Chains A and B, each alone.
Chain A
């Protein structure tokens, strides 16, 4: 078996929903031991989110929870009970990293803030992810992930110039937060490896999201311009959009930047003659007549399936892509070639696929070793085998509700 990047790293993952658990799952897929902690009375919020296997609402049947928690041990622990806190500190004492994304201040109220955890593990690294950071007037503000995308500016630039802003699918800022959280955490791990020192990292999802609009914010602060949504158009390309294909709600994205790409597109279209018209011969002309160009092009694209168009245009070196629906993503040949999805047998959901990181790393390959845990699935293993409690202790603590 190949070596793993993080095989010497142990992570206590107290986080929930997507932004925190995604960090833990990344580390697990590169070899870290990750223990995901929940409480029975308040399981991870994604366990109550669909889709559910066989449409049966059950915490162990949630696909949403599963996809952020593969490769982790799952335990339950009551952090409000004094014995629960002691056990938690035992887990931390053998960890390199603690991940949490409770409401800012909650760890302190539990008596488990960074300062307290440093007492049991002086070189601990702690990542606190939150909507808007651990300080500032809005630190305790509650909200959903998808709303952060609105706050961070993405809704305003999503949609059509003649209509209001539209939702960006999902919880857009969660994903950049996961990635920046990973970058910060590995930087801290490397720093610790060299210096022996731990770190506390305060990650604001709002700030992470705003970073992806940095040029547009400079355009405001320096030029006073407020960027607006523009459908699929691009200032320096035409045609540039999603064009309808033969089957219902199927589309092919086409992006023509250079004269050469336009010529190549004309070759593929062949006839009707409009493509050779002088009004479309230059980018200036195509931009000036973009409505007409899009209409004529749509009348042609609709004769083809998205797959046919995609293949034909790519063979002619025209940037094009199928607007893939979730099923097409699952069945995508290129993603399959990269082994982007890992099929594992989950005890409650059955066989299904987990997503790997978006890179292939040559010497220390990614491996998704375990399906996501059921609620408290690894209590016995973690508490007795890993933490070394005796069977007697385990039974007594269970009876006292410490693992609830």
Chain B
């Protein structure tokens, strides 16, 4: 859908997901790396468990579909080449510290003179201006400053982040939304603009009702591990349950859909002779567990817990689907790969990796539309893989000039 557009991607790990999403939707994204390769190539895991900049699975995942060139934008020649590329581009994405590209003479004000319809997107921890603009950050500190970390983890331990870094991915997706908003405006008016994305701000939306609960009710939610709190009489209800081979996510649910779910589980337990006499006394069609006492909840949960421990997550998942029980497996990456729904929707696709002489399984873009799915075109680029195509083919450099620029440390 975005095939007429060219995107120059100058980002490090903070912004790679933005270009990835744009390329999912058909944009021609050129990843511009420093000589020797982007530092994000050092982020694991690695193919074959071998740390190697050409084998970073992090890099592969978030640079898929992009073409890759190397360019030293700190040299005079590098700047000129970059400016020539900007003349051909619709969007530039960058994640340098605020002011860095201005210092190099490649900031938005300078580039928009060359190309007034350019959309430039900057992704930084806190944004381009303001009291924290120069503060240092990482995924962990962003998750802390964005608020979701306070609400996640066991109550008797420090708050936790999600172990697989997430903040740059959320911000990258927000940046793609901002980039396309600006691009859409440009399509109508011919005028480009600057989009200043804050990673911290991109996480605030994850708080769901927590911020507004502070504002309206002066209530501060707290992290509660595997239990969900906030009920009338009961302290909490269990959400994460151990089962025979892992964990499942289930809670005694409220409301009409919840009653059907609770009854479904009770019937399943009865059918296997694992429901206690207590279950016969409960009217599953009218019981509202939102007002139950902790003792009542505990008495029911004890039996549910025993039942789950007798079964695998796959079995429980299957029965849940059949009986409309609000239960899902706590998936591991292995479970995700084997998930039948994803398989049925052709979620996994093979891409050639000629340098390894094999194909590798990737996820397709997560939108399908009336004319078929979005396509993966190519694996992530090797370092400088498309230098010749872009520099010789696109910009018209001769072989001699390319040799000179390589020798001089420009490309």
Contact = CB atoms under 8 A, between A and B. Distances in A.
A217 B363 contact: yes
A316 to B, nearest CB: 10
B387 interface: no
Contact of A164 (B189, B196, B240): B240
Contacts of B226: 164-167
B262 to A, nearest CB: 13
Nearest to B55: A222
Contacts of A187: 1-2, 25-26, 180
A184 interface: yes
Nearest to B173: A179
B366 A324 contact: no
Interface stretch (B72-80, B126-134, B274-282): B126-134
B197 interface: yes
A360 B240 contact: no
A330 interface: yes
A201 B1 CA distance: 12
Contacts of A164: 226, 240, 242, 247
Interface string A287-328: 000000000000000000000000000100111111111111
A156 interface: yes
Interface in A353-370: 353, 355, 357-364
Contacts of B185: 3, 5, 363-364
B126 to A, nearest CB: 5
B3 to A, nearest CB: 9
Interface in B140-187: 140-154, 157-164, 166, 169-171, 173-178, 180-185, 187
B72 to A, nearest CB: 22
B163 A176 contact: no
Contact of B240 (A157, A167, A227): A167
Given A136-B341, A358-B205, A183 B196 contact: no
Contacts, number: 485
Contact of A253 (B140, B178, B240, B367): B140
A5 B193 CA distance: 11
A252 to B, nearest CB: 8
B174 A66 contact: no
Contact of A358 (B154, B184, B198): B198
Nearest to B141: A321
B235 to A, nearest CB: 15
A163 to B, nearest CB: 7
Interface in A147-174: 147-148, 150-160, 163-172
Nearest to A144: B326
B85 interface: no
Contact of B47 (A151, A175, A223, A338): A223
| Secondary structure class of chain A's binding surface, majority of residues | mixed
A49 interface: yes
A274 interface: no
A80 interface: no
Interface stretch (B208-216, B295-303, B398-406): B208-216
A222 B213 contact: no
A371 B144 CA distance: 29
B163 A227 contact: yes
A380 interface: no
Interface in B51-74: 57-58, 60-62
Interface string A22-35: 10001000100000
A355 B175 CA distance: 16
Contacts of A386: none
Given A5-B184, A184-B25, A255 B140 contact: yes
Contacts of A244: 158
Nearest to B198: A358
B354 interface: no
A357 B197 CA distance: 9
Contacts of B187: 190, 193-194
A59 interface: no
Interface string A379-402: 000000000000000000000000
A8 B200 CA distance: 31
B375 interface: no
B263 interface: no
A189 B159 CA distance: 41
Nearest to B338: A220
Nearest to A23: B177
B329 interface: yes
A68 to B, nearest CB: 9
B270 interface: no
Contacts of A334: 126-127, 130-133, 198, 200
A199 to B, nearest CB: 5
B210 to A, nearest CB: 5
Interface stretch (B28-36, B98-106, B304-312, B342-350): B342-350
A18 B331 CA distance: 23
A206 B239 CA distance: 19
Interface stretch (A82-90, A228-236, A276-284): A228-236
Contact of A147 (B166, B208, B328): B328
Contacts of B225: 159, 166-167
A123 interface: no
Interface in A50-69: 50-53, 55, 63-64, 66-67
B61 A153 contact: no
B239 A167 contact: yes
Given A172-B206, A359-B195, A150 B249 contact: yes
25 contacts: A26-B177, A63-B216, A147-B328, A151-B329, A166-B152, A169-B221, A182-B180, A199-B371, A200-B369, A212-B169, A234-B140, A252-B144, A320-B141, A325-B220, A326-B151, A334-B132, A338-B129, A338-B201, A352-B212, A357-B177, A357-B178, A359-B175, A359-B197, A361-B181, A364-B193
Given A187-B26, A226-B332, A334-B133, 17 more contacts: A50-B209, A63-B213, A158-B162, A167-B226, A178-B205, A187-B180, A204-B366, A218-B61, A219-B333, A326-B220, A326-B221, A330-B211, A334-B126, A334-B131, A338-B201, A355-B211, A359-B195
